[in-house]
Amino acid sequence: MSDQTHMNGEHDIAPGDEEQHSVGERIVGYVVGLGLALLLTATSFFIAGTDLVWQPSIPVALIVLAIAQMGVHLVFFLHITTGPDNTNNVLALAFGLLVVFLVVGGTVWIMGHLNQNMPPMDQFIRMHS
Amino acid sequence: MPAGRTVEGTMLGKLDWSAIPFEQPIPLIAGGVVLVGILAVLIWVVVKGHLPYLWHEWITSVDHKRIGVMYILLASVMLLRGGSDAIMMRIQQAIAYQSQGYLPPEHYNQIFSAHGTIMIFFVAMPFVIGLMNLIVPLQLGVRDVAFPTLNSVGFWLTATGALLVNLSLVIGEFARTGWLAFPPLSELSYSPGVGVDYYAWSLQISGVGTLVAGVNLVTTVLKLRTKGMNYLRMPMFCWTTLASNLLIVAAFPILTATLAMLLLDRYLGFHFFTNEAGGNVMMFMNLIWAWGHPEVYILVLPAFGIFSEVVSTFSGKALFGYRSMVLATMAICVIAFMVWLHHFFTMGAGPDVNAIFGIASMIIAVPTGVKIYNWLFTMYGGRIRFTTPMLWAVGFMVTFIIGGLTGVLVAVPPADFMLHNSMFLVAHFHNVIIGGVLFGAFAGFEYWFPKAFGFRLDERWGKLAFWFTFTGFYVTFVPLYVAGMLGMTRRLQHYDVAEWRPWMIVAAIGMAVLSIGVICQIMQLVVSIRNREALRDRTGDPWDGRSLEWATSSPPPVFNFAFHPDVRGEDAYWDMKLSAQQQSLDHEEPEYHDIEMPRNSPTGFVCAFFATIMGFALIWHIWWMVILGGIGAFATFVVFAWRDHDEYVIPAAEVAAIDRVNLEERRNLVSMAGAI
Amino acid sequence: MAMTATIGRAHADPHHIGLVVEHPGPAPKRTVTAYGFWVFLLSDIVMFSCFFAAYAVLVSQTADGPKGSEIFEQRNVAIETVCLLLSSFTCGMASIAADVRNRFWFYLGMAVTCLLGVIFLVIEFREFADLVSRGYGPSRSAFLTAFFSLVGCHGLHVSAGVLWLLTMMAQVFAKGFRADVLRRMMCFALFWHALDIIWVGVFSVVYLLGSGV
Ligand code: HEM
Ligand SMILES: [Cu+2]
């Protein structure tokens, strides 16, 4: 959509709705999404089981692949794009992701430090017995 | 064991006659009195033939104004219950010096747990959600919220939670774990009774209700605004509503997940937070506070919004620094998620983690400070009217600054190692929650009451209520700061330290003063209802307001506005009044149209009915009843989805008739103002 | 000050300088409903994130029980994943069919989606039953607690999705492609796709990363 319509104050489209496309184009979109998703999944499973790559890089690679695949799903299946009529949907998503990141990252970080300084009870007992 | 007992035992799970606390007269009598009261009201309603009215106009109503009023009513009733708990605790601590006082430990522990739970979840939350429901659609210039029926579901689920908590008074017991049920104390091995289950299931059920309310209000603010109501023209209260509900949507699922984990531990022998098999109690603190800190801002942000409206109206000026206010609100909304560790500095995460969260906690005080300055500058040079809402606002500013400062103090980790879990902490959070949230709720109540009911509240009793509450608050909580400094920890059922005693007595006296404040508030309501004709607000604009809720009649018609107002700037209604005065008045009759409104629906009430059954059955392990409740709830949803007509039409003629009256009053108002 | 209200940005103009994009008024119902549901989904994802966090914290707490690498079967997980990915695709097809009001393709798409969902659930259920029968139930260790909860929570969502899917088909059957039915269909599609996204997290973090622990 052009800036022109936005100037007139058009609404955002509904999350999940696509901008106007023909049925054929829409099906192609899903096919491409499915193809990419399958490809990324296959790569993940392959990397996890292989000895061909440097082992310490595997976790990072898996996380990167997972994030990429989530992106593919968001764009091709949920049609969340960066278009101007999608601002609100993207903002909500960004806020949600920020919170997810803070909660997961914060928990792992905090609990890591807590475990180090104050080991859980059974470890504690093992250490002192 | 006789055979009969066993059958009964299995049919009703853990429930039998020993659940009724015959040996504890206080809760039993209290519960009995409440029960008799409820029954009396019910009988009165039925005998007088009010039941159809109640059912059609309130219980099944999906009108956001009605739902808002019911939320506030729930909060007010629960405030009395939580307040009684507070009085009992203050008396206990005043007399339990080198003695057991009058409350045995297991009872005292239930009281402080119930007090915190009720005050946060069933007083503060419903009060602010009720005010948001009541006012935000009016301020946005629209006819309803985004999801009217779900809105009703949300309210009734909240009420279910409140009902279950109060049921624990007479059937079984309540948690003895404090308002956040920390494990391992809350695990099955240390709390084998049903107390924690009452706690957890009522919060799970009301939590769903809160989430629904949050989704509804976020969508309402972002997607339903009248023409021309751009983001930066929304009244401050709408902004803080948006921020607060974004926090609800993002934080309440954390509470749900955490309580679900605790319940899994208790019901199915999982090991999230147990001492055995690798469970980790510290993870509970971590997760619950990841919800808990955002929660305090969920509560206080709407209060900030209310004060912004009140201060600007009664200073006769536009809000100073509107954009910085918006920015501060949204900043708080994000930073609220970055400070939760300050609730467990002492658990040993180490200096670097503590330092970072300490600094973040101090940073969040900055936007809060910005807001205080903005309110002061709004008042500066204004023509201030010290009405009751304005008194609450000014009282808030003074009190909240103190609470914020002590907050920053405990956010310094080394200081917190001294003050953590002391009475100082208790004083801090009451300082911000009473001085911030409750004063805000009262200000909003006084300010918007005429809008909801069509008549103003008595100013004399209102001011009395303010001064007693304000004084009572300081007399109660300043001693707690002192006692904390003297080393007194929180949640003591009795103590042997002589220096603490005088402060506890002063605090109990303060509690008495606070109670007089509450009585004044009740008197204000009674007197105002009696004098309602004299206090009638015919214009819809009793305070010379600035935002759109004052542009319609008091109380507003179901459809709020005959036409969607067309907004041209900030302070939309103020602009309209100004331009109307300049242009004289156009006397042309506008062309009215039919209005479609959502139809009433018993979905919320029926859902809550099944939720109550299911919650009760889960608490008492009555599995067949759980399944019954679950099927009922699912069936309700399908029936709701199957409805064919969920809207009805108000014909244009009726809209015109209603609106003409309103317009006439308004013309008189403006021409009178013009004459002055 | 005027700088803040630039052309093409939907911001207000409190100082009446004229370059304002006027807000057009309340959004259409379809947008409102879907947006509300979108917000709900985000909150659901936050809830999942807590279970992910708990898994990350507890994954090494095996209490002398089995480790992830000893109990996970990559082949099963791969089949489950393919089922869900395909079902996302067929769900998309059903959405398109609903938009163009083609009953046949709608029913077909939904039926296949349902079938794939059920296959997924059966595989997951058998995995769980097998673990429990070997004494590796959720109360065996904190690791297994976290594993069962996270994966089970996703499984519960899929089950709810299947129930919802069936009521959607029934609604189209009884009421046709009415506006409100289409709105619900849209929410359902969002829900189903979101579950798939969460599954990407589950198989990556739980099964693939978890095998390495
Ligand atoms: C100015 C910003 C604030 C800061 C820096 C702050 C800081 C803190 C800190 C560090 C604690 C933990 C102390 C301890 O446990 O030892 C605390 C507790 C608490 N604060 Fe605040 N606070 C602030 C504002 C607020 C507000 C606005 C509210 C509520 C509306 C609030 C409610 C609470 C509650 C309920 C607790 C204690 C809960 C418990 O342990 O049971 N605080 N605050
Ligand atoms: Cu905090």
Of the residues A49, A66, A81, which one is the last residue of a structural domain? A81
Q: Do you know the residue count of chain A?
A: 129
Residues C135-147 have a mean pLDDT of 90
DSSP assignment of C64-83, as one string?
TS--HHHH--HHHHHHHHHH
Claim to verify: residue A46 and residue A92 sit in the same structural domain: no
| B80 HSE (CA, 13 A, CB side) | 10
Own/partner pairs, C52-55, CB within 8 angstroms, 24+ separation:
C52/A104, C52/C150, C52/C201, C52/C205, C53/A103, C53/A104, C53/A107, C53/A108, C53/B287, C54/A107, C54/B261, C54/B272, C54/B283, C54/B287, C54/C146, C54/C149, C54/C150, C55/C146, C55/C147, C55/C149, C55/C150, C55/C205, C55/C206, C55/C210
**C175 to chain B, closest Cα gap in Å:** 9
How does residue B580 score in pLDDT terms, banded at 50, 70 and 90? low
Q: Does C31 touch chain A (CB under 8 A)?
A: yes
| Other Cβ atoms within 10 Å of B154 Cβ, number | 29
What sign has the CA pseudo-torsion C155, C157, C158, C162?
A: positive
Q: Answer whether B332 contacts ligand 1 (Cβ < 6 A).
A: no
Chains that touch B (3 or more CB pairs under 8 A): A, C
Tens digit of pLDDT for each residue in B120-135? 999 999 999 999 999 9
Measured between alpha carbons, how far is C186 from B554 in angstroms, rounded to an integer?
39
Task: Tell how far the Cα of B291 is from the centroid of ligand 2, in angstroms.
Answer: 10
Are the C-beta atoms of residues B447 and B543 closer than 8 Å to each other?
yes
Amino acid symbol at B547 = S
Given a cut of 80, whether residue B369 has pLDDT beyond it is: yes
Claim to verify: residue A95 and residue A110 sit in the same structural domain: yes
Claim to verify: residue A20 and residue A63 sit in the same structural domain: yes
Chains that touch A (3 or more CB pairs under 8 A): B, C
Given a cut of 70, whether residue A121 has pLDDT beyond it is: no
Measured between alpha carbons, how far is B194 from B15 in angstroms, rounded to an integer?
10
Does the residue C148 lie in any domain?
Answer: yes
Amino acid symbol at B315 = S
Q: Which of B227, B197, B213 is nearest to B149 (CA)?
A: B213
Nearest CA in chain C to B227: C25
What is the predicted pLDDT for the residue at B162? 92
Name beta bridge partners: B596.
B649
Task: Tell how far the Cα of B432 is from the centroid of ligand 2, in angstroms.
Answer: 11
Element spanning B649, H or E: strand B647-650
What is the predicted pLDDT for the residue at B514? 93
Hey, what are B673's tokens?
């103002």
Higher per-residue confidence, C24 vs B510: B510
Task: Tell how far the Cα of B344 is from the centroid of ligand 2, in angstroms.
Answer: 10
Hey, what are B131's tokens?
């005010």
Claim to verify: residue A77 and residue A101 sit in the same structural domain: no
Higher per-residue confidence, B214 vs B566: B214
Nearest CA in chain C to A92: C39
Name beta bridge partners: B649.
B596
What is the predicted pLDDT for the residue at C189? 92
What is the predicted pLDDT for the residue at C62? 84
Hey, what are C139's tokens?
């109360």
What is the predicted pLDDT for the residue at C10? 37
Tens digit of pLDDT for each residue in A17-76? 776 678 888 888 889 989 999 999 888 888 887 777 777 788 888 889 999 999 998 888
Q: Answer whether B410 contacts ligand 1 (Cβ < 6 A).
A: yes
Q: Does C181 touch chain A (CB under 8 A)?
A: no
| Other Cβ atoms within 10 Å of B651 Cβ, number | 12
Hey, what are B446's tokens?
């006084």
> In sequence order, which ranges of chain A are alpha helices (DSSP H)?
3-7, 23-49, 57-72, 87-117, 121-128
Q: Where are the beta strands (DSSP E) in B470-623?
A: 595-598
Are the C-beta atoms of residues C145 and C66 closer than 8 Å to each other?
no
Does the residue A107 lie in any domain?
Answer: yes
- The model's pTM is 0.90
Measured between alpha carbons, how far is B583 from B674 in angstroms, rounded to an integer?
11
Given a cut of 50, whether residue B8 has pLDDT beyond it is: no
Does the residue C12 lie in any domain?
Answer: no
Lowest mean pLDDT among B100-104, B223-227, B577-581, B591-595: B577-581
Task: Tell how far the Cα of B428 is from the centroid of ligand 1, in angstroms.
Answer: 7
Given a cut of 90, whether residue B418 has pLDDT beyond it is: no
Are the C-beta atoms of residues B214 and B252 closer than 8 Å to each other?
yes
DSSP assignment of B446-459, as one string?
HHHHHHHHSBPPPH
Name beta bridge partners: B598.
B647
| Other Cβ atoms within 10 Å of B5 Cβ, number | 10
Backbone φ and ψ of B348, nearest 5°: 100, 35
Q: For chain C, what percentages of helix, strand and coil (3-state, to nearest 5) are there?
A: 75, 0, 25
**C24 to chain B, closest Cα gap in Å:** 5
Give the CATH number for residue C35: 1.20.120.80
Q: In whole angstroms, how large is the CA radius of gyration of chain B? A: 25
Q: In whole angstroms, how large is the CA radius of gyration of chain C? A: 22
Given a cut of 70, whether residue B589 has pLDDT beyond it is: no
Identify how many contiguous H helices and E strands chain C contains and give both numbers.
Answer: 7, 0
Pairing of strands B647-650, B595-598: antiparallel
Does the residue A47 lie in any domain?
Answer: yes
Does the residue A110 lie in any domain?
Answer: yes
Nearest CA in chain B to C137: B270
DSSP, collapsed to helix, strand or coil, labels residue B618 as helix
What is the predicted pLDDT for the residue at A123? 61
| Other Cβ atoms within 10 Å of B42 Cβ, number | 11
Residues B547-576 have a mean pLDDT of 82
Claim to verify: residue A103 and residue A63 sit in the same structural domain: no
What is the predicted pLDDT for the residue at B286? 92
- In chain B, pLDDT over 70 holds for what percent of residues? 95
Which chain A residues have any C-beta within 8 angstroms of a chain B C-beta? 88, 95-96, 98-99, 102-103, 106-107, 109-111, 113-118, 120-122
Claim to verify: residue A113 and residue A64 sit in the same structural domain: no
Q: Which of B267, B73, B144, B281 is nearest to B650 (CA)?
A: B144
- In chain B, pLDDT over 90 holds for what percent of residues? 47
Claim to verify: residue A51 and residue A99 sit in the same structural domain: no
- B231 and C10 within 8 Å at the Cβ level: the answer is yes
Are the C-beta atoms of residues B447 and B389 closer than 8 Å to each other?
yes
Task: Kindly give, in sequence order, each residue whose CB lies less than 8 Å from that of residue A24, ignoring residues fewer than 6 positions away.
Answer: none
Are the C-beta atoms of residues C91 and C203 closer than 8 Å to each other?
no
Amino acid symbol at A55 = Q
User: Would you tell me which CATH number, out of the four given (3.40.50.2300, 3.40.50.150, 1.20.210.10, 1.10.150.20), belongs to the domain B281-534?
Assistant: 1.20.210.10
Q: Answer whether B310 contacts ligand 1 (Cβ < 6 A).
A: no
Are the C-beta atoms of residues A9 and C22 closer than 8 Å to each other?
yes
Claim to verify: residue A73 and residue A94 sit in the same structural domain: no
Given a cut of 80, whether residue B450 has pLDDT beyond it is: yes
How does residue B156 score in pLDDT terms, banded at 50, 70 and 90? very high
- Output the average pLDDT for chain C: 85
Q: Do you know the residue count of chain C?
A: 213
Name beta bridge partners: B495.
B97
How does residue C132 score in pLDDT terms, banded at 50, 70 and 90? very high
Tens digit of pLDDT for each residue in B25-61? 777 777 778 788 888 888 888 888 888 888 888 888 9
Q: Answer whether B354 contacts ligand 1 (Cβ < 6 A).
A: no
Tens digit of pLDDT for each residue in C84-116? 999 999 999 999 898 888 889 999 999 999 999
Are the C-beta atoms of residues B318 and B260 closer than 8 Å to each other?
no
Task: Tell how far the Cα of B643 is from the centroid of ligand 2, in angstroms.
Answer: 44
Amino acid symbol at C133 = S
Backbone φ and ψ of B531, nearest 5°: -95, 25
Instruction: Give the total number of structural domains in chain C.
Output: 1
- Residue-number span of the structural domain to which C146 is assigned: 29-212
3-state secondary structure B281-302: HHHHHHHHHHHHHHHHHHHHHH
Amino acid symbol at B413 = P
Find how far residue B21's CA is from the centre of its chain. Answer: 30
Task: Kindly give, in sequence order, each residue whose CB lies less than 8 Å from that of residue B147, ignoring residues fewer than 6 positions away.
Answer: B212, B215, B216, B219, C33, C36
Architecture of domain B1-279: Up-down Bundle (1.20)
Task: Tell how far the Cα of B194 is from the centroid of ligand 1, in angstroms.
Answer: 29
Measured between alpha carbons, how far is C39 from B147 in angstroms, rounded to an integer?
13
- Residue-number span of the structural domain to which A100 is assigned: 86-129
Q: Does B84 touch chain A (CB under 8 A)?
A: no
DSSP assignment of C17-62, as one string?
-S--PPP--SPPHHHHHHHHHHHHHHHHHHHHHHHHHHHHHHTT--
Given a cut of 80, whether residue C20 has pLDDT beyond it is: no
Q: Answer whether B433 contacts ligand 1 (Cβ < 6 A).
A: yes
Residue listed under structure tokens 């379809």: C30
Claim to verify: residue A21 and residue A77 sit in the same structural domain: yes
Start-end of CATH 1.20.210.10 domains in chain B = 1-279, 281-534
What is the predicted pLDDT for the residue at B98? 87
Q: Which of residues 30-59 of C touch B (CB under 8 A)?
A: 31-33, 35-36, 39-40, 42-44, 46-47, 50-51, 53-54, 57-58
Residue listed under structure tokens 């940073």: B363
Measured between alpha carbons, how far is B151 from C35 in angstroms, rounded to an integer?
16
Does the residue A26 lie in any domain?
Answer: yes
- Output the average pLDDT for chain B: 87
| Of the partner residues A96, A99, A113, the one whose CB lies closest to the CB of residue B350 | A113
Task: Kindly give, in sequence order, each residue whose CB lies less than 8 Å from that of residue B502, ignoring residues fewer than 6 positions away.
Answer: none
Higher per-residue confidence, C83 vs A128: C83
DSSP 8-state assignment for residue B648:
E
**Which atom from ligand 1 is nearest to the alpha carbon of B120?**
35
Hey, what are B32's tokens?
């009995």
Q: Which of B280, B402, B418 is nearest to B345 (CA)?
A: B418
DSSP, collapsed to helix, strand or coil, labels residue B462 as helix
Given a cut of 80, whether residue B273 has pLDDT beyond it is: yes
Residues B86-98 have a mean pLDDT of 91
Nearest CA in chain B to C61: B278
Instruction: Give the total number of structural domains in chain A.
Output: 2
Does the residue C137 lie in any domain?
Answer: yes
Tens digit of pLDDT for each residue in B475-499? 999 999 999 999 899 998 999 899 9
What is the predicted pLDDT for the residue at A26? 84
- A110 and B278 within 8 Å at the Cβ level: the answer is no
What is the predicted pLDDT for the residue at C37? 92
- The residue nearest atom 29 of ligand 1, judged by CA position, is B296
How does residue C74 score in pLDDT terms, banded at 50, 70 and 90? confident
